[in-house]
Amino acid sequence: MSEELTCEELRAQLDAYLDCEECDDLAALVEAGTLNGPDARMRRLLEAHARQCPHCATVVDAERHMRRALRRCYSHQAPEGLRASIMELTVSRSRRAVRTRVTRIDITEER
């Protein structure tokens, strides 16, 4: 695999990349293979692309800004029980997504 990403690859993974950047728990679940998302190596490649591509740097910066602004609007911490339920739901949905992808592999006969 190439060590350089395209702008499209960065855009496709932007949300997951910033989610991991903002949440160590989420990054740990991705690293453990429990959740889908960019692993540490991919996150470094995304960061490197954003550093050397002015267009993507602007997009990443704008998204970080937006997230900060939203956090200021909704700064109340969810109760621990709700947080735990959301994490559990996220993990089970991700596992279902992985299973769905695996069942879509078609086997065709070679002629």
Calculate the alpha carbon distances from 86 to 28, 80, 82, 93, 110 in Å. 16, 10, 6, 10, 45
Rounded-to-integer distance, Cα 64 and Cα 19, Å = 10
Nearer of residues 53 and 87 to Zn ion, judged by Cβ: 53
List 20, 29, 45, 56, residue binding Zn ion (CB under 5 A): 56
Rounded-to-integer distance, Cα 45 and Cα 2, Å = 10
List 34, 53, 87, 94, residue binding Zn ion (CB under 5 A): 53
Nearest approach, Cβ of 24 to Zn ion (angstroms)? 26
| Number of residues binding to Zn ion, judged by CB under 5 A | 3
Catalog residues that contact Zn ion under the rule CB under 5 A: 7, 53, 56
